[in-house]
Chains A and B, each alone.
Chain A
Amino acid sequence: MDEKNAIEMKNPTPSVSRRKLLRFIMAFLGLFGLGAILSSIIVFLTPPRSALKKVGGWQVVGNLSEFKESSLVKTYFGLPVILIKNGKGLLSFSTICPHLGCIVIWDEKKKWFICPCHDAAFDAGGKVLKGPAKPYNLLPMEIKVEGEMIAVKLPEDKLPGYPSWFRITMISGV
């Protein structure tokens, strides 16, 4: 009687079920290992939260006396911001189109801001008129005038309602 037969004599139950169990364990470990490797790769390639550098807060734009009536002034603090002085007073908003992030341009003939990417249009106050940006307006900025100094407040935190890429762009700048 050789060794193999001796083992089978000691274990009267057929070894098939044990082989099945072993194969199951191997498959489980294999899948687990594969999942661990794949998820580690994805986790490694995910940019850390600390990569988000915030640009928000109050920023001085300039002197009140420098602005002529109806003049448009663009200033940038990592964000394209427009400051308008009209009959009613001062007005400021971002010129990033809330559709997909192109910079809108003032069309003097049609008297509106037009987005060169997908033809969204906004009126002189930043309200959306037509195109795929609906229902979002150009993001208005808070303005503060202290003496001669004009400052605008770039968004520091959540902008409820706007698309997520827009919120991120507004907080981190371009």
Chain B
Amino acid sequence: MEERKRRKPTFYPDQFFTEMVIFLFIIGVVVTLSVLLPIGYEQEANPLITPSTINPEWYFLWLFQVMKLVPPTIGVLVPFVISAILILLPFINTREINTFRGHRWFIFGGASVLVLIFILSIWATL
């Protein structure tokens, strides 16, 4: 027992079983959602009638709103620009800093983008 306490936690069994418990909880949520809010199906596709309210999946709503506001060519470049920034991020910001204060401007920038995406998503549903 003493030895077990002093032992450092390892992936198996410590992390593995903790994550299994969380996973069981998440599966519970998924099954509950499927039972309480069954997804069913809507109307079959009709190429000649656009439904009067058309919304994309909730995680694309912000892009949908952007497309309403700017010319198509600029709007469609937005996701490409964001992806490029995300990919290049570790090559732009390479300084090893071990405090939140140390890279507060990057945190601020990232947080503002998230807030902006959130606002655009809400706006699209209005």
Contact = CB atoms under 8 A, between A and B. Distances in A.
A102 B68 contact: no
User: In which size bucket is the chain B interface?
Assistant: 10 to 19
Contacts of B50: 102-103, 105, 115-117
Contacts of A80: 48
* Residues of A contacting B: mostly: loop
A157 interface: no
Majority SS of interface residues in chain B?
loop
Contacts of B67: 100, 118, 132
A102 B69 CA distance: 17
Contacts of A163: 72
Nearest to B70: A132
B50 to A, nearest CB: 4
B68 A118 contact: yes
A117 B60 CA distance: 14
A102 B97 CA distance: 50
Contact of B48 (A99, A103, A115, A131): A103
Interface of A: 76, 80, 99-100, 102-103, 105, 115-119, 131-132, 163, 174
Interface of B: 47-54, 64, 67-72
